């Protein structure tokens, strides 16, 4: 399971743009790209400048399964779509997915989701402890 350390309460990290090469409508151009973006804008060409989006590195949540290998049950990453018609998508957001539908979250929503995951994890630990004690 991938683990992330909470930095809430610490200094905020503002997205830092830099210029990188991209292919747009078959032409090589330079675009602003964020320091956390892992999209290769040359290998993943776009038809229009407005189609360019940015995504960070994925983090994965795996669940062990008795008798088989771990299953990836969710993943998350940073994203931004600078030309989106949705204002919230033009600012960095956290995308969480199980494969069916992406959940795009504001930073505050992502914090609340992480709090919920921590509570969920604590309850799983309680269940594991009960299971270690056997059927009661």
This prediction's pTM: 0.79
Domain boundaries, the chain: 17-105
Tell me what pLDDT residue 7 has.
40
The mean per-residue pLDDT over the stretch 6-15 comes to 47
Q: Which of 12-21, 45-54, 127-136 has the highest mean pLDDT?
A: 45-54
Cβ neighbours of residue 103 under 8 Å, at least 6 residues apart?
95, 96, 97
User: Does 23 have pLDDT greater than 80?
Assistant: yes
């Amino acid at each position: 399971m991938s683990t992330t350390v909470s930095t809430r309460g610490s200094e905020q990290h503002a997205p830092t743009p830099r210029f990188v090469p991209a292919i747009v409508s078959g032409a090589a151009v330079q675009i602003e790209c964020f320091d956390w973006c892992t999209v290769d804008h040359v290998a993943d060409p776009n038809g229009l400048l407005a189609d360019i989006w940015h995504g960070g590195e994925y983090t994965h949540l795996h669940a062990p399964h008795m008798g088989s290998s771990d299953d990836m049950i969710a993943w998350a990453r940073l994203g931004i779509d600078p030309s989106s018609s949705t204002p919230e998508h033009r600012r960095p957001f956290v995308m969480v997915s199980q494969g069916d539908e992406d959940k795009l979250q504001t930073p505050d929503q992502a914090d609340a989701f992480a709090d919920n995951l921590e509570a969920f994890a604590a309850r799983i630990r309680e269940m594991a402890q009960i299971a270690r004690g056997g059927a009661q």
